[in-house]
Structure 1
Amino acid sequence: MKKMLISMLVMLMALPTIAQKNNDHDFKVAKNMDVFNAIYKNLDLMYVDTLDADEVIGNGIKAMLGSLDPYTTYYPESEQQELKRMLTGKYAGVGALIRYNNQLQKVVIDEPYENMPAAEAGLKKGDIILTIADTSMVGKDVAYVSDHLRGEPGTSFIIKIKRPSTGKEMKMKVTRRT
């Protein structure tokens, strides 16, 4: 009984500390959101050109998520259909996960799926995508590159990549599958 009473007292004493930490976090979030809001409002009011809210705030969101990990991604309302298609798996592509490499500032193959066109063509993790069907992918974002990798099932294209492990540029023929 005495041990239970002591443990309850310790828990009660710890509660204000836990609540305080949560309040500090909530305060910091609210303060930073207010700062973000104020900056955008001032830019909108005083900037030389008219701001495109979707673009400016979308870039802010993408930058925030980019500081986390390569898997947390923002899909604005305009890309909801694309996200739905990706989640249901009802489209044809090459069967590889791609991502933007901030250090290289290029889109790379992150994971070619086994027994899928990308792996069968010889694409490997880390390959830098240079061109798809003679269209340059240098300086393009993941969505742009992804759009070019997708297409009708059975259609083929030539992908040009640079393999960092060898430094060689290579061309491969890839045929899309569902």
Structure 2
Amino acid sequence: MLVFSSLIEEMNKLSIIGIQKFIGPILLYREDNVINSAAKEAIVLDVKTENGKITDNKMIDEDDEFSAVAAILPILFNLICYVKRCYEVVTNLVMQQHTFLLYANVKTKDKQLQSSLREILPDLNENIRFDIVWESLANLATTLINLDQVFSQQSSVIRRDIFNYKRSLATVLRDLPHYHLEHRENAIQSLMTIINEIE
């Protein structure tokens, strides 16, 4: 029973983490940029660079896009780890229940086996109910379904932005000396690997 209580506790924590840590940021992805782009259309922006050249709105929009992608990448990577952990916990729960129910339904006349089963599972009782286990599992499943729906709503925007970000990184990797990033090649390649995993 201790195993089930620890699995219940972990499923409840995972449900809370999914709601608090992932749903909001994914749901509101680029939301502030939509507001900012509406303001930019109303006011013509003249932003001067160090060279004295004026940048256009498209360049500023790309900067916002890259900033948004840079902010969402760690969240998406953590989301991958979160989903893997949920899968591991639910798999463990199913295996534990299978084992428990298997031992609970063993009918034997062998007194030694019966006593050893009672030692392994002292709480073995036909009246044991798994209501709390199913409730925790349902909460976790609801959280994962909500995450899937939220991500489905935003997936086209996120995919497009990640594609553009990845393309820009590939451009930088091809010409590192131009950007003075020769010493950062390994870090950029690691970032590309993470982006490929997220995609």
Q: TM-score, normalising length from structure 1?
A: 0.31
Please tell me whether Structure 1 or Structure 2 has the larger radius of gyration of its CA atoms.
2
Higher fraction of strand: 1
Q: TM-score, normalising length from structure 2?
A: 0.29
